[in-house]
Structure 1
């Protein structure tokens, strides 16, 4: 399902017998130290993933991977396979039954066979891509830095800027910055 530019992807798999602890260990390793940094770098390179999560459930017999991303599903999977995330997928899904490997030409078919589309999917920001959110964050940080300068404070007090300061758009900008 999609909501605006955001799409959801959820996969349910069976964990190979006796692999739950190894899967749990591999998931923990992926989120610690240099592995976590490498994962973040790959996700930044891809630039379309909003969030992702792995869950082990049903008495350690099943695994769920769920994510929210921008763009087409095919591009999403292709992007993951061509980056360090592919090796991460390989490591995690190797603990699940029937996973053919991330480089296998039938891997998309395997994911589709294990996918369970959401009955409802809602995004809090359906019209914002990851790239737009990152840009908005950078612009906000830069704007907040400007607000903190003595030069900006002096400009607010300068009578020559009174007309600009009185506009509803400028007042809204200041209100948003304060809030």
Structure 2
């Protein structure tokens, strides 16, 4: 089975998209699901954002599966415009509604809060008010209009499985020499 790279153009209007619990459900693309949020950083909080990134990296060192419930492929966090603005990009395997609900539950469960607390307008009650969390994300979401996948529609679990098979085959070949 040959996997060919694919791209999809996403329409600007969301009128025809199916509606989920929290608004339009963007289609699964060759890059899977995801969203980009751009928001203003609270004055003087850029360093706190960086420290949060370090804390999250350390949490993953202690438990590489801490974020596993989110079915992530990638996260990218960027501070820009002289550390006054923040961009969050996430690519994952579930739709927006499930991802955001799972994120709120996960952060409450493991006690790692969210970097978003350093952003202007982020709701203080986000841990008990998922709808407010989602509203913030939707209000600051910058939908993509094109998404490309070199290995389209492949889940993070499928990628991990393929890498395990590759490692096992490599080890087997090494032992045969």
- Report TM bin, short chain: 0.7 to 0.9
Alignment of 1:26-175 (within 5 A): 26-31=52-57, 33=58, 35-38=59-62, 40-44=64-68, 46=69, 48-84=71-107, 87-88=111-112, 90-100=113-123, 101-105=126-130, 106-150=132-176
Q: 1:87 Cα shift?
A: 4.5
Rg bigger for which structure?
Answer: 1
Q: How many pairs does the alignment contain?
A: 147
5+ residue gaps, structure 2, are 1-25
- Indicate the residue corresponding to 1:174 in structure 2: none
- Indicate the residue corresponding to 2:35 in structure 1: 9
Residues 116-167 of structure 1, C-alpha deviations (whole Å, 9 max, x = no match): 01122112211210010111111111122222333xx7xxxxxxxxxxxxxx
Larger helix fraction of residues: 1
TM-score, reference length from structure 2: 0.73
* Maintained 8 Å contact 2:37/2:141: yes
Between 1 and 2, higher relative CO (CA 8 Å, sep ≥ 6) is seen in 2
* Maintained 8 Å contact 1:39/1:84: no
TM-score, reference length from structure 1: 0.72
Larger strand fraction of residues: 2
5+ residue gaps, structure 1, are 154-179
Q: How many Å separate the matches in 2 of 1:13 and 1:30? A: 20
